[in-house]
Amino acid sequence: MTAVGERVRVGIVGGSGYTGGELLRLLHAHPRAQVTQITSREYAGQYVYAVHPHLRGGVELQFIHPDALQPCDALFLCLPHGEASRQIERYAQLAPVIVDLSADFRLSDPTVYARWYGEAHPAPAWMGRFVYGLPEVNREALRGARYASGVGCNATAVNLALLPLARAGLIDYAACAISVGSSEAGAAVSAGSHHPIRSGAVRTYKATGHRHSAEVAMILGGAVRAHLAITAIEMVRGVHVLAHVTLNTAVAEKDLWRLYRGAYRNEPFVRLVASKSGLHRLPEPRIVAGTNFCDVGFELDADDPRHVVVVAALDNLGKGAAGSAVQCLNLMMNFDECDGLNFLGVYP
């Protein structure tokens, strides 16, 4: 594998969007990887800081046209839905390692894909080649893998919130109210992301049937009943999950601590936040903004030991997208899993 010094050569395809910019920020501080090319049809020939101004003075790369992409050691695909799968043969010839941040290869079953995305998968033979890129579930499968998918940001927050309960077989039903920031809509302007419409909004835009439900079922198991309702709020970065979980048996608070500590004590990017006092007793999106952390907490109903509220928060561009993608690359390349991901965020 050719490298720049001891650093692998990385390309970012579709780098003018928010996830492309976040990848570039994270990889700029990576000790083992160096971004050597980044593509954009619209901004080809311009410096990346013209689009990602926070990188000015640190990253001197210029965007290149996608047709000018050269072979490299690893590719991140940050393309609109459906594009990566239609060009996967070309990208596989350009790099031995690929992390696709779109939804194209998150699901392994073409029938399930068609149900949730409303069309046949453009490259069904490739679906089983991608490892779902959630290290907390697929760490060993990601080690040395050639292809990894991205993760849905909402699905990741729900999966990490409920995984310990699901593994213990305790979930009877989970109703997940999910609040999301405007960056989840991407960099392109839409009616829903237009500032006068988004400002001050508390707008439920997907009360049932969100596509990320397929990822939740895949990770937690099809027998787990978890319904997702998504609401847009006036926040730029962040996903906040408030899950009302009905358990099939009564539990004590110490049982919940045992489950969650057992699941996450060795996870570098999952923090348990469940305090009895203080301002930040439960997870909050602004605390994890810019980081690869997912904070998870819970509160047992004092009047009903079969009812627990689980709260999770992550940055949709971080742990929900680019952060998880870099974490996957680290595992795929046998780097330290935390390389480039140690930023603790800012407060206030």
Active site residues: 153
Burial class (CB in 10 A: 0-12, 13-18, 19+), 129: middle
Under 8 Å between Cβ of 270 and 296: yes
Residues 6 or more apart in contact with residue 87 via CB below 8 angstroms: none
User: CA-CA distance, 122 to 32, in Å (whole number)?
Assistant: 34
Tell me how many helices (H) and strands (E) the chain has.
11, 14
DSSP, res 132: P
What is the layout of strands, in order, in the sheet containing 239-247?
A: 202-206, 226-233, 171-180, 239-247, 307-314, 294-300, 270-272
DSSP string covering 269-318: TEEE---SSSS--S--HHHHTTSS-EEEEEEE-TT-TTEEEEEEEE-TTI
- In this structure, what token pair is assigned to residue 257? 């601590």
User: CA-CA distance, 293 to 151, in Å (whole number)?
Assistant: 14
H or E element that contains 237: none
Task: Kindly report the number of other CB atoms within 10 A of residue 39's CB atom.
Answer: 23
Task: Kindly report the number of other CB atoms within 10 A of residue 258's CB atom.
Answer: 14
